[in-house]
Structure 1
Amino acid sequence: MKLFEILLVVLTLGSGLILLADKLFLAKRRAAKAGLLDGDEPAVVDYSRAFFPVLAVVLILRSFVAEPYKIPSSSMMPNLLIGDFILVNKFSYGFRLPITNTKIIPVGEPKRGDVVVFKPPHAPDQNWIKRVVGLPGDRIGFHGDTLSINGQPLGYQEKGEYIGKGPGAEMTGASLLTEDLPGRTHTVLELLGRADPRGQGDWVVPEGQYFVMGDNRDNSEDSRFWTQTHFLPEENLRGKAFMIWLNCSGWFCKASFEPSRIGTGIQ
């Protein structure tokens, strides 16, 4: 993903500079030569003229409006499945420069319950997706199968056994629960009574950082398990996931295709 971003920026800038140089210098030289028509321009200028508008539009949309991602793991089940193609709002938490991810215009901040795409502090070359459960200053606790925020255990309601299909079949038999985050209710999967003891503990979220967890509580490498730091720095955010636009796997979706996922909002 980072390589594509760099390549897109380089091609956009390169083609734009070629067009600028042609307008300021090369076109005048060609016009000054007897017998040459305005249309007799080098192939590189011709290609730049054709591709620059497309590249510029893609770069602007991808960097400042919305960026597509594909879900590669089961850590956000039952809400996001393997093979989901999602769109991420790039300006929810501020306008950022491509490649460096430097914020240039602050817009908003993550809210508890937001599903966010980010670069984990221990793997900055990767993009991960989790749910924000802890805001700066929060006291987060996770003991047994229960999440608590500022000393208050969250409420849970059992919705029965999860029956997965297609990309979600691997978690069939897990308990499907609703979790009442303050201001946001969503579903989670848990293998009740089988919580990993390594993910138990209490944490205080520092200023400018967040505590994130996967909805598939027993199959998620999230803030509970990060060793260098348990927190996600604000500057590592890429955006807020808001919609599933496709779910498929394999060439031309031959392996699987779930039309019911198309256009589904992410809660």
Structure 2
Amino acid sequence: MRQLKSWFKGNKGFVFFLFGMVLVRSAVADWYGVPSGSMYPTLMIGDRIVTDRLAYDVKLPFTDVIVTSLADPQRGDIVTFTSPEDGVRLVKRVVGLPGDVVEMRGEELVVNGEKAVYAPAAGEVAARVAPDYTGQQLVLTEQILGQRHPIIVMPQRPALRSFGPVTVPPGEYLMLGDNRDASKDSRYIGFVRRELITGQVKRVAFSLDTDRYFLPRLERFGTALATP
């Protein structure tokens, strides 16, 4: 015990620094590495994303208990949340809000009776396909209810391309990955309760290309993820 006290006395500043970092990550802001292609072409494998944990709610540190609500998640937001299936941290896009009626028919999204409009993506994003799949990938722009963002579909890959219509329950949200045929989202894990949402992803801090010896993707450093 004396040795422990002596060690703490000699490293007190370091211990408080570590505690502060853990507290900040639990209550204010957090950062994660993107390990899979489920959010291509928006997020790439090797991106390091920053999550604003105060975007929607103030929570007790290290818990899902909401102290006060600051704002409501909006359709099109990219969020991190705890999977209701197994507790794994996931990042997806909010597609259905409480009370929305959502369905998908052969990959085409319908929300509250409005059908999404699809067109081939243009510019740099059109070439940003997932590196962990060798089959056909189509990069499209999906526009619905005033929101527009790119998605990927993989026609040759087995996937759940139709569901619903379903009504999103009060206090819950429907999440989809932008890489529609390679994402474990609300089609498989169900709706996500608000208290399980851990924050909003607003930008990429930095990015490393895992297929090129972790060389930095300088063009993605500090990239904002606002809906175009």
**What's the TM-score once normalised by structure 1's chain length?**
0.74
Matched to 2:10, the amino acid is D
After TM superposition, the structure 1 = structure 2 runs for residues 171-250 of structure 1, keeping only pairs within 5 Å, are: 173-192=136-155, 196-197=159-160, 199-226=162-189, 230-248=190-208
- Give the secondary-structure state (helix, strand or coil) at the position aligned to 1:264: coil
Label 1:55 to 1:170 Cα distance change in 2 as closer, same or farther (>3 A): closer
Label 1:204 to 1:52 Cα distance change in 2 as closer, same or farther (>3 A): same
Aligned to 1:262: 221
Aligned to 2:131: 169
Q: Which has the higher contact order (CA 8 A, sep 6+)?
A: 2
Label 1:94 to 1:197 Cα distance change in 2 as closer, same or farther (>3 A): closer
Task: Tell me if the contact between 1:179 and 1:188 (Cα under 8 Å) persists in the aligned partners.
Answer: yes
Q: Deviations over 1:54-97 (max 9, x none)?
A: 13431343223210011111010000011110000000111112
Label 1:164 to 1:171 Cα distance change in 2 as closer, same or farther (>3 A): farther
Aligned to 2:91: 129
Distance 1:121 1:65 in 2: 22
Match of 1:142 among 104, 112, 136: 104
Matched to 1:259, the amino acid is L
Label 1:170 to 1:56 Cα distance change in 2 as closer, same or farther (>3 A): closer
Aligned to 1:99: 62
Give the gaps of 5 or more residues in structure 1. Answer: 1-17, 19-40
Distance 1:58 1:181 in 2: 39
Matched to 1:98, the amino acid is P
Higher helix share: 1
- Give the secondary-structure state (helix, strand or coil) at the position aligned to 2:131: helix
How many residues align structurally? 219
Matched to 1:133, the amino acid is V
Match of 1:116 among 79, 85, 109: 79
Label 1:193 to 1:150 Cα distance change in 2 as closer, same or farther (>3 A): farther
Give 1 or 2 for the bigger CA radius of gyration: 1
Task: Tell me if the contact between 2:114 and 2:145 (Cα under 8 Å) persists in the aligned partners.
Answer: no
Alignment root-mean-square deviation, CA: 2.5
For residue 151 of structure 1, report the CA deviation from its aligned partner.
1.3
Match of 1:157 among 103, 116, 119: 119
Distance 2:160 2:81 in 1: 26
For residue 102 of structure 1, report the CA deviation from its aligned partner.
1.3
Is 1:73 the counterpart of 2:36? The answer is yes
Is 1:86 the counterpart of 2:52? The answer is no
Distance 1:59 1:138 in 2: 36
Aligned to 1:46: 10
Task: Tell me if the contact between 1:112 and 1:183 (Cα under 8 Å) persists in the aligned partners.
Answer: no
